[in-house]
């Protein structure tokens, strides 16, 4: 029987799952995902986490707890410090293995390679080697696994740029038909937007309202870089950079009818990044912005009302 | 050019002197008050941490007094502080202020940029004069830290409530007036003498409590609701894990040169967290371990609401507490925090520490008598 590696369906899952899956499968391991988010899973996470942790971290812990019940041999919680030079991920990713270990007792062994491409490339290679050696000691296998992972990841990212959301690709769904000619951009972390429970299906709801939805993942890197150029100092968070770049790019391009900002309550980086985006949009006075804050108490009815009102307002503006 | 800067504990005493020695006209922000915080809260993002809001309030008040240049610290992440200045500049611009912002941060390969910024500040002073001013500033920082350290030890035993704080204020004014290393030395001496003159009582059961957490919140009394004074006047000997001088050496000088600092703390934290998590998160864990190993009765962890690095630390502290056998109280503060509620929590925590100490003392006594 092959070794079972559990991957929580939360946080970086939405960015790197295809790569991770290919990596472990090439090494002969079986990849087990946690269940789709339910109220029970979120509640488990909320109970385990410290109160002030942000909603996605609480949900992540819920998914880790969910994996425990699936008799996995390992849980994969990489410590992703940086994926590019001079930029970091949010501090919560830097301490994620510790958070999981301290908040949830009796976990299976955690696989927590430190990924730090920006500062310690050699060490990152060594960590990956160590990780691969747990499954297959042959050095050639690491290369094979990495190659498979890179390919899977590339094709995933290519499909994202075709207008599919991470959720749609990961769930194996087909591309929806463009619903309308009005384009609304939704800006937020993929791990919030694509979890159907957490986001209360904001993307789907917008589409149901007859709107074509854009997200930052659909933009090529050059567009993000163009958008980020207007800043005197780039953001040192990889995701923050992406949000700022995408937000500014859409603003310059001026082809969207409205922008929906989705943040989770108390998100540290977003408190600054979204403030800047809001300010830039306000200065131009061209594109309306709706800010939605998510937490564990967010009610679906309230979100629907606000989305509907926003879309109505956009239509009214266009008709004028 | 009229220069201003953000408040951070007693830093303004140092910075005012330093910038004046560089030949600049300095407009220090007015002391932090409720109004400062209100101004900051009004214009800052809702979920930004308290230090950003207080900084912003400082800037607005100083700009209203006529300042036109802001000197601010920066950083390279992943703590939010490194991006403060970028957001604050946009907010102040939208408010219609006319100013320039000089952000001092690790150059990351662009040393010439940092040199350009320093040139604006140092004007046409000769290198010797600049060095002299910097040395005086450093002496002042060290003297302030020394004075504060003594105050924390002294306050728990004062006979008359408030006497220590009074002596401290006087000591601060001596240091503020000092303009050369020699004057700093005599100023410190006078301050310490005043402190030594504070009438003391015997308090054999004084609890020892360590303060850990985010740097700004620990160093700025207005932000931490004067926790040191409150605890001291309740008869508690307080020790702070971070001082201005240690923070500057570790986080500004050593880290800019990519040299390791604070090794003892990192080593103490290693059992629980091996990775830097931004800000002061790992240090908080390490400091708690060190206080526990030195036999402190408890620690108080102070963080600004929504501080991600400290939330990582907060998730780890329960395990540290259990394994190292030290109680802790974690308090997150923001503009909503009220003093009365805070005092109640402190009192409850201290009661718990007292009971715990009695229990261990009784057990030790029983053990000792049983052996006899």
Residues B175-225 pLDDT 10s: 999 999 999 999 999 999 999 999 999 888 899 999 999 999 999 999 999
Q: Is B261 found in the same domain as B351?
A: yes
Nearest by CB to residue B306, choosing from A49, A271, A276, is A271
Q: What's the token pair of residue B311?
A: 């939330």
Across the interface, whether the CB atoms of B86 and A271 are under 8 A apart is answered no
**A315 pLDDT tier (thresholds 50, 70, 90):** very high
- Is B217 in the same domain as B338? yes
Q: How far apart, in whole angstroms, are the C-alpha atoms of residue B262 and residue B255?
A: 10
- Residues B187, B70, single domain; the answer is no
Cβ–Cβ contact A294 with B under 8 A:
no
Query: CA-CA distance, B216 to B240, in Å (whole number)?
Result: 12
Distance between CA A42 and CA A8 in Å, rounded?
12
Inter-chain residue contact A52 with B311, CB threshold 8 Å: yes
For residue A267, the distance in angstroms to the closest alpha carbon of chain B comes to 7
The boundaries of the domain holding residue B38 are 2-125
Prediction pTM value:
0.94
| pLDDT of B372 over the 80 cut | no
Complex ipTM value = 0.92
The answer to whether the Cβ–Cβ distance between B86 and A237 falls below 8 Å is no
In this complex, do A98 and B315 lie within 8 Å of one another by their Cβ atoms? yes
Task: State the smallest CA–CA distance between residue B79 and chain A in angstroms.
Answer: 7
Q: Tell me how close the Cα of A131 comes to any Cα of chain B, in angstroms.
A: 18
Per-residue pLDDT tens digits for A164-214: 889 989 988 776 666 568 999 999 999 999 999 999 999 999 999 999 999
The C-alpha atoms of residue B326 and residue B160 are separated, in whole angstroms, by 31
Residue of B nearest to A274 (CA): B45
Cβ neighbors of A218 (< 8 A, separation 6 or more) are: A160, A161, A162, A163
**Are residues B228 and B185 part of one domain?**
no
Same domain, B251 and B119: no
pLDDT, tens only, A107-140: 999 999 999 999 899 999 999 999 999 998 888 8
Q: Is B97's Cβ below 8 Å from some Cβ in A?
A: no
Is B367 found in the same domain as B225? yes
B56 reaches A (C-beta below 8 A): no
Is residue B157 exposed (0-12), middle (13-18) or buried (19+ Cβ within 10 Å)? middle
**Residues B211 and B199 both lie in one domain:** no
Q: Domain end: B149, B173, B203, which one?
A: B203
CA neighbor of B74 nearest in space, from A255, A235, A109: A235
Percent of chain A with pLDDT over 90: 83
Q: Are residues B262 and B352 in the same domain?
A: yes
B107 and B217 in a single domain? The answer is no
Kindly state whether residues B40 and B72 are assigned to the same domain: yes
Inter-chain CB proximity A266 and B305 less than 8 Å: yes
Instruction: Number of helices (H) and strands (E) in chain A: give both, helices first.
Output: 14, 10
Q: Classify A172 as helix, strand or coil.
A: coil
Contact state of B83 with A236 under an 8 Å Cβ cutoff: yes
A289 touches B: beta carbon within 8 Å: no
Burial environment of residue A122 by CB neighbours within 10 A (0 to 12, 13 to 18, 19 or more): exposed
Task: Summarize chain A as % helix, strand, coil (round to 5).
Answer: 50, 15, 35
Instruction: Give me the number of domains chain B comprises.
Output: 3
What local confidence, expressed as pLDDT, does residue A1 receive?
A: 66
CA distances in angstroms from A78 to A116, A219, B271, listed in the order given: 11, 26, 18
CB spacing of A88 vs B278 below 8 angstroms? yes
Partners of A243 on chain B (C-beta within 8 Å) are none
> What does the pLDDT look like over B29-81, one tens digit per residue?
999 999 999 999 999 999 999 999 999 999 999 999 999 999 999 888 899 99
Distance from CA of A174 to the nearest CA of B (A): 37
B78–A90: do the CB atoms touch at under 8 Å? yes
Would you call B94 an interface residue with chain A, using a CB distance cutoff of 8 Å? yes
- What's the order of all strands across the beta sheet hosting A74-76? A30-33, A4-7, A74-76, A109-111
Are B338 and B34 a contacting pair, CB within 8 Å? no
Mean pLDDT for B104-126 is 84
- A265 to chain B, any CB pair closer than 8 A? The answer is yes
Is residue A70 pLDDT above 80, yes or no? yes
Question: Do B140 and B110 share a domain, yes or no?
Answer: no
Mean per-residue pLDDT, A151-173: 90
Q: Is B316 on the interface with A (CB under 8 A)?
A: yes
- Decide if A91 and B86 are in contact by the 8 Å CB cutoff: no
Give the residue from B94, B125, B156 where a domain finishes. Answer: B125
Task: Answer yes or no: do A279 and B277 touch at CB < 8 A.
Answer: no
Give the domain CATH number at B225. Answer: 3.40.50.11900
Interface check A105 vs B, CB under 8 A:
no
**A98 in reach of chain B (CB within 8 A):** yes
Taking alpha carbons only, the member of B332, B295, B336, B335 closest to residue B315 is: B332
Domain identity same for B314 and B228:
yes
- Please tell me the distance in Å from A176's CA to the nearest CA on chain B: 35
pLDDT in the model for residue B254: 76
| Mutation for B interface: A55, A94, A228, most B CBs within 10 A | A94
Neighbours of A292 (CB within 10 A): 21
Q: What is the pLDDT of residue B263?
A: 86
Compute φ and ψ for B236, nearest 5 degrees.
Answer: -110, 135
**Chain A window 109-168: which residues touch B at a Cβ cutoff of 8 Å?**
114
Last residue of a domain, one of B178, B203, B228: B203
């Amino acid at each position: 029987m092959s070794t079972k590696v559990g991957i929580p369906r939360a946080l970086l899952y939405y960015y790197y799952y295809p790569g991770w899956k290919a990596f472990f499968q090439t090494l002969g391991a079986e990849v087990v995902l946690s269940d789709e988010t339910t109220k029970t899973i979120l509640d488990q996470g909320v109970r385990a986490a410290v109160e002030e942790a942000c909603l996605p971290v609480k949900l992540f812990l819920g998914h880790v707890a969910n994996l425990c019940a699936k008799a996995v041999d390992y849980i994969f919680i990489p410590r992703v410090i940086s994926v590019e030079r001079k930029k970091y991920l949010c501090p919560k990713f830097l301490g994620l293995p510790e958070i999981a270990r301290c908040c949830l007792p009796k976990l299976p062994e955690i696989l927590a390679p430190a990924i730090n491409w920006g500062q310690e490339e050699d060490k990152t290679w060594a960590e990956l080697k160590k990780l691969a050696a747990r499954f297959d000691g042959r050095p050639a296998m690491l290369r094979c696994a990495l190659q498979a992972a890179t390919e899977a990841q590339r094709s995933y990212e290519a499909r994202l740029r075709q207008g599919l959301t991470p959720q749609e690709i990961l769930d194996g769904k087909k591309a929806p038909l463009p619903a309308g000619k009005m384009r609304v951009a939704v800006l937020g972390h993929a791990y919030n937007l694509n979890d159907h429970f957490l986001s209360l299906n904001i993307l789907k709801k917008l589409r149901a309202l007859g709107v074509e939805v854009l997200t930052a993942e659909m933009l090529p890197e050059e567009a993000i870089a163009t958008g980020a150029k207007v800043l005197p100092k780039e953001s040192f968070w990889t995701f923050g950079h992406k949000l700022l770049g995408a937000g500014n790019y859409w603003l310059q391009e001026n082809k969207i009818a409205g922008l929906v900002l989705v943040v989770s309550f108390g998100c540290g980086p977003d408190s600054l990044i979204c403030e800047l985006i809001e300010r830039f949009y306000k200065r131009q006075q061209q594109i309306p912005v709706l800010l939605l804050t998510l937490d564990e108490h967010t009610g679906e009815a309230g979100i629907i009302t606000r989305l509907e009102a926003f879309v109505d307002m956009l239509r009214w503006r266009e008709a004028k | 050019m009229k220069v201003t800067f953000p408040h951070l504990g007693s830093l303004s005493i140092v910075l005012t002197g330093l910038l004046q020695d560089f030949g600049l006209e300095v407009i220090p922000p007015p002391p932090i008050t409720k109004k400062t915080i209100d101004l900051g809260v009004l214009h800052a993002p809702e979920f930004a941490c308290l230090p950003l809001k207080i900084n912003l309030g400082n800037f607005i008040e100083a700009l209203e007094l006529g300042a036109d240049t802001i000197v601010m610290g920066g950083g390279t992440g992943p703590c939010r502080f490194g991006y403060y200045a970028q957001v604050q500049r946009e907010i102040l611009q939208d408010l219609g202020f006319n100013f320039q912002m000089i952000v001092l941060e690790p150059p990351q390969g662009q040393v010439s940029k940092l040199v350009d910024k320093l040139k604006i500040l140092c004007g046409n002073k000769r290198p010797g004069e600049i060095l002299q001013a910097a040395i005086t500033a450093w002496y002042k920082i060290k003297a302030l830290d020394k004075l504060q350290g003594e105050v924390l030890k002294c306050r728990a035993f004062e006979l008359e409530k408030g006497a220590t704080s009074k002596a401290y204020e006087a000591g601060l004014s001596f240091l503020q007036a000092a303009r050369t290393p020699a004057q700093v030395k005599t100023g410190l001496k006078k301050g310490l003498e005043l402190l030594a003159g504070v009438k003391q009582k015997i308090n054999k059961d004084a609890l020892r409590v360590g303060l850990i957490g985010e740097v700004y919140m620990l160093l700025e009394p207005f932000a931490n609701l004067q926790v040191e004074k409150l605890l001291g006047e309740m008869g508690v000997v307080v020790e702070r894990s971070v001082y201005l001088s240690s923070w500057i050496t570790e986080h500004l000088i050593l880290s800019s040169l990519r040299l390791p600092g604070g090794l003892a703390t990192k080593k103490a934290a290693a059992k629980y967290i091996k990775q830097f998590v931004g800000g002061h998160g790992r240090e908080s864990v390490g400091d708690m371990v060190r206080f526990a190993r030195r036999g402190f009765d408890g620690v108080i962890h102070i963080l600004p609401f929504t501080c991600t690095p400290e939330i990582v630390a907060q998730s780890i502290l329960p395990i540290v507490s259990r394994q190292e056998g030290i109680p802790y109280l974690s308090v997150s503060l923001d503009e909503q925090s009220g003093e009365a509620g805070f005092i109640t929590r402190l009192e409850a925590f201290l009661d718990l520490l007292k009971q715990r100490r009695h229990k261990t003392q009784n057990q030790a006594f029983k053990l000792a008598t049983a052996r006899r």
